[in-house]
Structure 1
Amino acid sequence: MPLGTLDRRPPPLFREGPSALTKLAFCTALALFLMVADARFKLMDPARSALALVLHPLQRTLLGPVDAWEQLRSYLRGMEAAQAAEDRARQQLTEQAVVLNRAAQLQAENQRLRQLLTLREALTVAGQSAEVLYESGDAYSRRVVVDRGSKHGVQRGAPVVNEGGVLGQVTRVYTLSSEVTLLSDRDASIPVLNTRTQQRGVAFGGERGVMELRFTPADADIQVGDLLATSGMDGIYPSDLAVARVSEVERRGDSSFARVRLLPTSRPDSARHVLVLTPLAIHEATKAEAAAAAASEAQARLHARDRARDKARAAATAARPGASAAAGKASAPGGHKP
């Protein structure tokens, strides 16, 4: 084939068109034209609306995972916030429960102290308040330890009472504390008086906090619910202090004595604040000594007043002759007043 007949044009794939600069200038001009036309005449609004309508489902589909992730994060944050709020609420509820429990205890303690103050005003003997520290470690006795001792003037044998009645008696005295034997102790005893029938007796400690009224005749007039109080004849306990109530009366045909069980009115197991009283005999002796001292002082004042009156009379008698002589000179002839 002759060389002149060959096609020297490049294939379509490598065929050269407008230059890149020309294409850039054309596209820039077209963009500027479209921008100006859209800004002035809103030519692209229909196309933009149509394109937004077409792409909206695709956008919602693509945003689905993002929205789900955001909702999951919001749910987790809400769960954490709810758990934290629940923990704070539980903590506040616990604190308020503690405060409420403490307030209830203080209210009950305040009520007991008010009753003790009322009891102190009603008593005719001196006494001082004390607090029960703990129970004695002896498993075979019923004793408690209070926070008052010989330093505070507590004496052995002093009766101990609370708002319910007689609790027991001081049996050991230390410097800063004392040991009180409760009425329910097996070795404890106290003279009592039935407030309904005025019948006297002796109550003894028993088992499991129950007392007994021993040596009671089987035909004695005693009933369940009778209140037994102190008689005041033993020289220790003041009179008319509640001791116990009759809880059971058992009359047996083979015995001439009735078995009478009592429940202490002072509730020894729940005693917290008590009054330690001065024994009645010591109180009466102190009262008698005070009355004797007051009478002696009154008699001394009376003697001093009589002596002062006698001295005044003697001075007046001694002054009268001088006054008479002076009056005589003044009335004599030629006399003159100095």
Structure 2
Amino acid sequence: MPLGTLDRTPPPFFKQGPSALSKLMVFSAIALFLMVADTRFRVSQPLRAGVATVLYPLQWLALRPVLAVRYGAEYFETLRSAQASEAQARQKLAQQSLRANQVDELALENERLRKLLQLRERTGTAAMAAEVLYEAADPYTRKVIIDKGLAQGVQPGSPVIDESGVLGQVTRVHPLVSEVTLLTDRGHAIPVLNTRTGARSVAYGDPSAHGGSLELRFMAGNADVQPGDLLTTSGVDGVYPPGLPVAKVQKVERRADSGFARIDCVPQALVDGARHVMVLASLNQSVPARPAPEDSAPGTAGKKAKK
């Protein structure tokens, strides 16, 4: 029998099911459905929390060598560095002692003015100490992971500060750890107040700069903003308590081809080296609830007594 007459096509038994295009369309539809379901119904949130809980011991174990090297490097710091730090601390202490004398007088004056204007005293803000474990693996965001979570009472949206100022905000909470979005993240914005002029504005994260910075957007070209101005939280957003240091104005560029000025700011907090932080309660969680109308209206108690 000649070889050219043989049928070389594989029998139907060995065919590989649907085509590659059909598989692509089916899996794309499933992926789109899962994304919509996660956005609308948050079906993957319990799965994320469970995976984070299971992986926490492995993360803790993997961080032990890193922490050992870090603590070893700190232990072998030179005596010259320690003496320089002590000299700076003594100089700062002398400056703070001078300011402390002025603070007592200003506090007394502030108390008298509040009583005169019948202003309500500021409510206290609860705080919780936490430690930064590591930075998030996503290269397109500026986030860190802290060692406190739902088990310790951390709530989404809570402000996070360090010893120098506002560091960021809690954006995701797991049972044992939490995710903090830093001020320099491109998706973060915070209302600020210029302490020199009293003008309010909004600072946006600008990760494109070296080390990350903040930018005051939509400020008029003739706005009274100068390099060195201190920006603090304004408290109008109901999240950050007012008066917390946020950033200092570094550069003001007034362009003739635009009605807005480009204003670059440097964060006061250590966004690249923070280790120990404080998680604050949101301002709207600290404000006491308003009394019910029947309880606050005059003469209500007398009417209830008559009944």
After superposition, residues 84-99 of structure 1 pair within 5 angstroms as 99=75
Q: Could you tell me whether the CA contact under 8 Å between 2:162 and 2:274 is conserved in 1?
A: yes
Separation of aligned partners in 2, 1:243 and 1:261: 13
Aligned to 2:222: 219
Give the secondary-structure state (helix, strand or coil) at the position aligned to 1:192.
Answer: strand
Structure ranking higher on relative contact order (CA contacts 8 Å, 6+ apart):
2
Residue from 266, 272, 295 that aligns with 2:275: 272
After superposition, residues 120-131 of structure 1 pair within 5 angstroms as 124-131=124-131
Aligned to 1:167: 167
Aligned to 1:199: 199
Q: Could you tell me whether the CA contact under 8 Å between 2:123 and 2:286 is conserved in 1?
A: no
- Per-residue displacement from partner, 1:132-155 (whole Å, max 9, x unpaired)? 000000000000000000111100
- Per-residue displacement from partner, 1:133-184 (whole Å, max 9, x unpaired)? 0000000000000000011110000000111110000000000110000000
What's the RMSD between the two structures over aligned residues? 3.1
Give the secondary-structure state (helix, strand or coil) at the position aligned to 2:284.
Answer: helix
Q: Could you tell me whether the CA contact under 8 Å between 2:231 and 2:246 is conserved in 1?
A: yes
Separation of aligned partners in 1, 2:231 and 2:162: 16
Give the secondary-structure state (helix, strand or coil) at the position aligned to 1:270.
Answer: coil
Q: Could you tell me whether the CA contact under 8 Å between 2:185 and 2:205 is conserved in 1?
A: yes
Give the secondary-structure state (helix, strand or coil) at the position aligned to 1:128.
Answer: strand
> How far is 1:210 from its partner?
1.3
- In percent, how many aligned pairs have the same letter? 52
Residue from 69, 77, 83 that aligns with 1:101: 77
1:123–1:139: structure 2 CA closer, same or farther, 3 Å change rule? Answer: farther
* Structure 1 ranges of 4+ moved more than 3 A: 96-100, 102-105
Aligned to 2:46: none
Q: Could you tell me whether the CA contact under 8 Å between 2:124 and 2:286 is conserved in 1?
A: no
Separation of aligned partners in 2, 1:288 and 1:273: 32
> How far is 1:100 from its partner?
4.6
Separation of aligned partners in 2, 1:124 and 1:213: 29
After superposition, residues 1-338 of structure 1 pair within 5 angstroms as 99-101=75-77, 124-206=124-206, 207-208=208-209, 209-284=212-287, 287-288=288-289
Give the secondary-structure state (helix, strand or coil) at the position aligned to 1:269.
Answer: coil
Q: Could you tell me whether the CA contact under 8 Å between 2:165 and 2:244 is conserved in 1?
A: yes
1:140–1:99: structure 2 CA closer, same or farther, 3 Å change rule? Answer: closer
Q: Structure 2 length normalisation: TM-score?
A: 0.55
Give the secondary-structure state (helix, strand or coil) at the position aligned to 2:192.
Answer: strand
Give the secondary-structure state (helix, strand or coil) at the position aligned to 1:171.
Answer: strand
1:135–1:238: structure 2 CA closer, same or farther, 3 Å change rule? Answer: same
Q: Size of the alignment, in residue pairs?
A: 185
> How far is 1:123 from its partner?
8.8
**Aligned AA for 2:265?**
L
Separation of aligned partners in 1, 2:256 and 2:160: 38
Separation of aligned partners in 1, 2:243 and 2:220: 23
1:237–1:218: structure 2 CA closer, same or farther, 3 Å change rule? Answer: same
Separation of aligned partners in 2, 1:100 and 1:224: 38
> How far is 1:124 from its partner?
2.5
Gaps of 5+ in 1: 1-95, 112-121, 297-301, 307-338
**Aligned AA for 2:289?**
A
Separation of aligned partners in 2, 1:250 and 1:194: 17
> How far is 1:102 from its partner?
9.8
1:98–1:272: structure 2 CA closer, same or farther, 3 Å change rule? Answer: closer
Separation of aligned partners in 2, 1:97 and 1:262: 32
Separation of aligned partners in 1, 2:245 and 2:141: 22
1:98–1:162: structure 2 CA closer, same or farther, 3 Å change rule? Answer: closer
Structure number with the higher helix fraction is: 1
Q: Structure 1 length normalisation: TM-score?
A: 0.50
Per mean C-alpha deviation after superposition, the further-off stretch among 208-217 and 237-246 is 208-217
> How far is 1:288 from its partner?
3.4
**Aligned AA for 2:129?**
S
> How far is 1:270 from its partner?
1.2
Give the secondary-structure state (helix, strand or coil) at the position aligned to 1:219.
Answer: coil
